[in-house]
Amino acid sequence: MCGIVGFIGNNDSKEILLKGLEKLEYRGYDSAGIAVMNEDGVQVFKEKGRIADLRSIVEEDVLANTGIGHTRWATHGVPSTVNAHPHQSKTSRYTLVHNGVIENYDLLKREYLQDVALESDTDTEIIVQLIDLFAKEGLSTEEAFRKTLGLLKGSYAIALLDEENKETIFVAKNKSPLLVGLGEDFNVVASDAMAMLQVTNQYVELMDKEIVIVQKDQVTIQNMNGETISRDPYTAELDASDIEKGTYPHYMLKEIDEQPLVTRKIIQAYQNDSGKLTIDEEIISAVNESDRIYIVAAGTSYHAGLVGKQFIEKLAKIPVEVHIASEFGYNMPILSEKPLFIFISQSGETADSRAVLVNVTKLGYKTLTVTNVPGSTLSREADYTLLLHAGPEIAVASTKAYTAQLAVLAILAEVAGASKGFKHEFDLVQELGIVANGMEVLCNAKEEFEDIARSFLSTTRNAFFIGRGIDYYVGLEGSLKLKEISYIQAEGFAGGELKHGTIALIENGTPIIALATQESVNLSIRGNVKEVVARGANPCIISMKGLEMDGDTFIIPEVHELLTPLISVIPLQLIAYYAALHRDCDVDKPRNLAKSVTVE
Ligand code: M6R
């Protein structure tokens, strides 16, 4: 969480930093700050709240060619102006922004900084005070920075200004993402290329434990021993329009609407010249040589994993277990002899998933990451990567990444099964095409979902999602969408499980959103709906064409029954979106959350 930026060049840096931070707000948005440096020294502006709040306090007439900035998701200390970054050393010589968590900050404070009255409650402040302390003891800034980094345990992406060295931004990284962007007569630093796409698309990736001396016409990467490392830049394949809302009121709505296009892009990306679905042979061998697949993920990606299990077991006939990343480390199951680990992660940065990846890599197991972000940590650190091709997903609530994850997992299962000679009666390319068309129909029915949200959810305190089989997993995703953006307490349940406890929660008018897209359980889920209606519930039934019954609230277009999650989720995304709007919630930036969860 948290996003950092830096700029050094000939232009005024303020606006570049603020614009960059706006693009990084998805990483955290409880407070923000910038520090700019010119011949008069360093000036810090920081504020609780959003970048817009910060913008309003930045003084227009301060001109500076160098600066750093930060948008925060609080881990240590409440969101406040004092805890906002940048933090300054007591002498004001050093100013620093940090993304990550310093696990041993308390110990370092007691050992080195007993005489320093810290201003904030953050783990970050000790970094800048330590650098200052070591500089006062006679070390150069580079030496003091290196010595401090050597003491830190945890994760960091850091940008540091030294008032006595105005030509440089000192940068370092360990476990938190960080890039250096290259320009003509300027260079930049950013947690994500998106932030600085406004000025450059040329980036150099940084590896853990590297230190970078960034000057306006030179970038020097060093390892912890001070040895220089050379690395070629890459071109960020991002279009500036991908990261703009355009005419949409919210990124979430734009991203929901992009799902048909993304599904078609995925089909193309995984087709060979003769139109056959194809995946790197090494990946298919790793899948087919494994005796059990362990899918590890969090949140929406975990829900995609639950559906992915069905695809892989049915099409490739390999047993699959799906695990919540944050639980896996403490609760490691007995592993099979030849496991393959699949990490599903939109961002490719989720710390909980990464912790498992690091562990299982140490144990010598093969790993595959399914991610939307090429070059992300989980992608770099796994043996293999499959990309989602969904384009940047900026709204905190994941939508197009979920359906992209499902499409890619279906293709993986299909290609793995086909390479073992398994046959089935449908053509996945054709069926995914039908899915994309169905998605379009649903995206064009927004008014109906707005009405459903208004009549079922505008005043309720809670809501339940029920389904059986694959519909149950989609219900889990629907309930996560609703709770995270509308703050309605929403839960997903297996239809048959209600009578074992949950049905006690049903009161007069409780909204129940039931999914009925599976022929084999259509009658049973209808039975469950009757049970809750008999106890006063207000049912919203979303069924599929061919399985519809009188009184259904919405009927989605027919697609192959294994692929229904790719389209049945769209009504749930749109219902959550409109429920949040009706309740005046901040759809794209819900409270307490951040898009990229880089703390465990
Ligand atoms: O980037 P990841 O897919 O690894 O993120 C995992 C979860 O944090 C994420 O899916 C989260 O649950 C979303 N906000 C849900 O909409």
Domain boundaries, the chain: 3-238, 244-435, 445-600
Distance 293 CA to ligand 1 centre (A): 21
Average pLDDT over residues 210-218: 97
User: For residue 595, what pLDDT band results from cuts at 50, 70 and 90?
Assistant: confident
User: For residue 92, what pLDDT band results from cuts at 50, 70 and 90?
Assistant: very high
Fold classified for 445-600: Rossmann fold (3.40.50)
Tokens 């809302």 — which residue?
245
Task: Please indicate whether residue 299, judged by its CB atom, sits closer than 6 Å to ligand 1.
Answer: yes
Look at ligand 1, atom 7, and give the residue with the nearest C-alpha: 299
The alpha-carbon radius of gyration of the chain (Å, integer) is 25
User: For residue 238, what pLDDT band results from cuts at 50, 70 and 90?
Assistant: confident
Nearest to 394 by CA among 246, 202, 267: 246
In angstroms, how far is CA 410 from the centroid of its own chain?
21
Distance CA 42, CA 253 (A): 41
Cβ atoms of 303 and 402 within 8 Å: the answer is: yes
For residue 591, give Cα distances in angstroms to 30, 425, 586.
Answer: 9, 46, 8
pLDDT tens readout for residues 120-138 = 999 999 999 999 999 999 9
Cβ atoms of 189 and 4 within 8 Å: the answer is: yes
Active site residue 175: no
Q: What is the pLDDT of residue 212?
A: 98
Average pLDDT over residues 77-92: 94
Three-state secondary-structure class, residue 562: helix
Q: What is the pLDDT of residue 243?
A: 81
Cβ atoms of 511 and 572 within 8 Å: the answer is: no
Which atom of ligand 1 has the smallest separation from the CA of 397? 16
pLDDT tens readout for residues 342-363 = 999 999 999 999 999 999 999 9
Look at ligand 1, atom 2, and give the residue with the nearest C-alpha: 345
Q: Which of 2, 443, 540, 585 is catalytic?
A: 2
Task: Please indicate whether residue 398, judged by its CB atom, sits closer than 6 Å to ligand 1.
Answer: yes
DSSP for residue 312? I
Cβ atoms of 64 and 12 within 8 Å: the answer is: yes
Look at ligand 1, atom 4, and give the residue with the nearest C-alpha: 345
Nearest to 191 by CA among 201, 176, 204, 202: 176
pLDDT tens readout for residues 428-479 = 999 999 999 999 999 999 999 999 999 999 999 999 999 999 999 999 999 9
Distance 193 CA to ligand 1 centre (A): 20
- Angle CA 327–330–331, to nearest 5: 75
* Of 26, 256, 350, best ligand 1 pocket probe by most atoms within 8 Å of the beta carbon: 350
Cβ atoms of 578 and 486 within 8 Å: the answer is: no
User: For residue 596, what pLDDT band results from cuts at 50, 70 and 90?
Assistant: confident
Q: What is the pLDDT of residue 239?
A: 74
Q: What is the pLDDT of residue 561?
A: 95
> What's the whole-number average pLDDT of the chain?
95
Q: What is the pLDDT of residue 110?
A: 96
Where do the H-state alpha helices sit in 34-118? 51-55, 105-112
Cis amide bond preceding 86, omega within 30: yes
Task: Please indicate whether residue 397, judged by its CB atom, sits closer than 6 Å to ligand 1.
Answer: yes
User: For residue 330, what pLDDT band results from cuts at 50, 70 and 90?
Assistant: confident
Q: What is the pLDDT of residue 129?
A: 98
- Over 80: is that where the pLDDT of 1 sits? no
Q: What is the pLDDT of residue 600?
A: 76
Q: What is the pLDDT of residue 117?
A: 93
Q: Same CATH topology for 244-435 and 445-600?
A: yes
The top-level CATH class assigned to 3-238 is alpha beta
pLDDT tens readout for residues 366-401 = 999 999 998 889 999 999 999 999 999 999 999 999
Q: Which two tokens stand for residue 424?
A: 């089935």
Distance 417 CA to ligand 1 centre (A): 28
Enter the CATH code of domain 244-435.
3.40.50.10490
Task: Please indicate whether residue 301, judged by its CB atom, sits closer than 6 Å to ligand 1.
Answer: yes
Percent of the chain with pLDDT over 70: 100
* Of 398, 476, 586, best ligand 1 pocket probe by most atoms within 8 Å of the beta carbon: 398
Q: Which two tokens stand for residue 596?
A: 């990229």
Residues recorded for the chain: 600
Distance CA 433, CA 280 (A): 22
Three-state secondary-structure class, residue 420: coil
Active site residue 216: no
Distance 324 CA to ligand 1 centre (A): 12
Distance CA 279, CA 299 (A): 26
Listed in sequence order, the residues at least 6 apart from 222 whose beta carbon sits closer than 8 Å to its beta carbon are 210, 211, 212, 213, 228, 229
User: For residue 592, what pLDDT band results from cuts at 50, 70 and 90?
Assistant: confident
For residue 492, give Cα distances in angstroms to 105, 303, 473, 496.
Answer: 40, 11, 8, 12
